[in-house]
Amino acid sequence: MQRFFSYSGMALISRSQIKLIRSLKLKKFRDELGLFVAEGDKCIGELRRGFDMHLCFSGGDITPDQLKQLSSLTTPQGAIAVFRKPAEMPLPDAADGLVLVLDGVQDPGNLGTIIRTCDWFGVHHLVCSAGTADCFSPKVVQATMGALARVHVHYTRDLAQYIRSAARGSSLPVYGTLLDGRNIYDIGAVPERGRGLLVMGSEGRGISPEVRQLVSHPLLVPSVGDGAVESLNVAVATAVVLAEFRRPQNGNSSL
Amino acid sequence: MQRFFSYSGMALISRSQIKLIRSLKLKKFRDELGLFVAEGDKCIGELRRGFDMHLCFSGGDITPDQLKQLSSLTTPQGAIAVFRKPAEMPLPDAADGLVLVLDGVQDPGNLGTIIRTCDWFGVHHLVCSAGTADCFSPKVVQATMGALARVHVHYTRDLAQYIRSAARGSSLPVYGTLLDGRNIYDIGAVPERGRGLLVMGSEGRGISPEVRQLVSHPLLVPSVGDGAVESLNVAVATAVVLAEFRRPQNGNSSL
């Protein structure tokens, strides 16, 4: 009898739960139900610190076939959980700390990597245009490696309006990487490192024309040598700029 | 009659060419045939500068359905080409310039982004362990945005042996990012910026134990604040370290 109860093929996940988890691959249902999915013990463990867990299945709760069916990963990681999305928060004040602004970053891997990088460099708030990938999509959640629990990701339909209001009539800098920007290593290119807004544009088109007009401090990560690619990957460019913003200032500080 | 010849649905691509292109999704056939595939006018244009083009189909040569069938992209970009892989070159001399060494980077997107970043920062040679992703796989090729034409990617079965030989008995530094490494911003952490080797490890396990022993200058990109994720994405970490290596030295240079 004992064997019966410990039979590892006996799943405790119900059909309706399977249906629920599958539906959460779509933004429509994530928004309607206020839920999202994460996979793997490590990622789930990190997210539990920041979000309420609604369901969790691992080991004998779910068969490998069921897990494979539900997983968004090439190699499922043994555990899958459903979390509640957080309530919407007011958009952040750029006087309290540097806010990263994303204008149309569409690749989920890039967005996830950017969230992970923000966590590393102590950036607590990300404000995204409506055209940016959904931070609760499975690929983004996994790429954040749990950083989603600590970095607040906001969405706004009117990014330009947010930037205008957050910059407080030019009293705070609005940085943005542009092809004709100023070398980030020039003295004076980054007058404030701990406050203001840093705008990064989409993979294909960069910062949109409307938002570009609001950039008070255009920046460029200089390339080395000749014949280089036209641009850096947006997650890489974000990281290089954030690393420079967070770099300890030397005696010949540009502040 | 003219209409017949310009009928856009009439493909000029043959069945055997379709079969060939499909086969090149697998490393086995890329190695056997010495060929690889690239997509999109821009990427193809960049790669033509560095590789011989064997076949190219766009517009009326191929139907949208055929292109979709052959494409590795979510949204096919209208053109697909087959290039010849370059002949193997001797492994690079680390006295001639900084060599980036990858010890088991498995994600194609990460490898592609790293190649693109090398091009930006003027690193001309990448040496990869046998366990690193294949730089000619479709996802890597596309993620390089054409940089593959300018950055030489080498593979070796014995990475430790290459590092030992290239470091010339400790006369050149072997940098590597390790959890107990020295802050990259410390004076003296990076005594040479233009020569030597920089080793980056795999996404899950970092640098392998055998290679770790050869790292003479362990480095760490410092995080800001508390509660941060355990690590940066490997492509992001590579970019932050390369940006620091290529950063103009100030008056208080660490050289």
Asked if residue B241 has pLDDT above 60, the reply is: yes
Residue B228's pLDDT is: 65
CATH of domain B99-246: 3.40.1280.10
B254, pLDDT greater than 60: no
**A230:B147 CB<8 A:** no
Alpha carbon distance A214, A212 (integer Å)? 5
Mutate to test the interface with A, among B177, B182, B232, B252 (most CBs of A within 10 A): B232
Residue B170: per-residue pLDDT: 82
8 Å CB contact of B120 and A223: yes
Q: Going by C-beta distance under 8 Å and a sequence separation of 6 or more, which residues neighbour residue A42?
A: A145, A146
Residue A2 has what pLDDT? Answer: 37
Going through B109-192 in order, the beta strands assigned E by DSSP cover 125-129, 152-156, 174-183
Tell me which amino acid residue B174 is: V
pLDDT exceeds cutoff 80 at B125: yes
Pairwise pLDDT comparison (A62 vs B170), residue with the higher score:
A62
pLDDT tens per residue, range A218-227: 999 999 977 6
**Which residues of B touch chain A, with CB atoms under 8 Å apart?**
46, 109, 113, 116-117, 119-122, 143-147, 150, 185, 221, 223-225, 227-233, 235-236, 239-240, 243-244, 246-248, 250-252
Regions of chain A where pLDDT drops below 70: 1-11, 227-228, 250-255
pLDDT band for B6, please (50, 70, 90 cuts). Answer: very low
CB contact under 8 A, A117 and B225: no
CB atoms within 10 A of CB A32: 11
Q: Which two tokens stand for residue A116?
A: 């992970």
**Which CATH class for the B2-84 domain?**
alpha beta
Q: Name the E strands within A18-135.
A: 35-39, 53-58, 79-84, 99-103, 125-129
Q: Which residues of A touch B240 (CB under 8 A)?
A: 239-240, 243
pLDDT at residue A8, as a whole number: 45
Residue B250 pLDDT class (50, 70, 90 cuts): low
The domain limits of chain A are 2-84, 99-246
Q: How many beta-carbon pairs under 8 angstroms link A with B?
A: 106
Per-residue pLDDT, A6: 37
State the pLDDT confidence band at B15, using cuts at 50, 70 and 90. Answer: very high
Contact B117 A232 (CB under 8 A): yes
Q: According to the model, what pLDDT value does residue B59 have?
A: 86
Q: What pLDDT sits at residue B179? A: 87
Mutate to test the interface with B, among A152, A240, A249, A253 (most CBs of B within 10 A): A240
CA A152-A156-A158 angle, 5° bins: 150
Tell me the pLDDT tens digit for each residue of B182-226: 999 998 899 999 999 999 999 989 999 999 999 999 999 999 977
The encoded tokens of residue A244 equal 């420079």
By C-alpha distance, which of B17, B235, B196 is closest to B113? Answer: B235
> A116–B248: do the CB atoms touch at under 8 Å?
no
Give pTM, 2 decimals: 0.92
Average pLDDT of span B230-235:
91
Nearest to B158 by CA among B131, B123, B196: B131
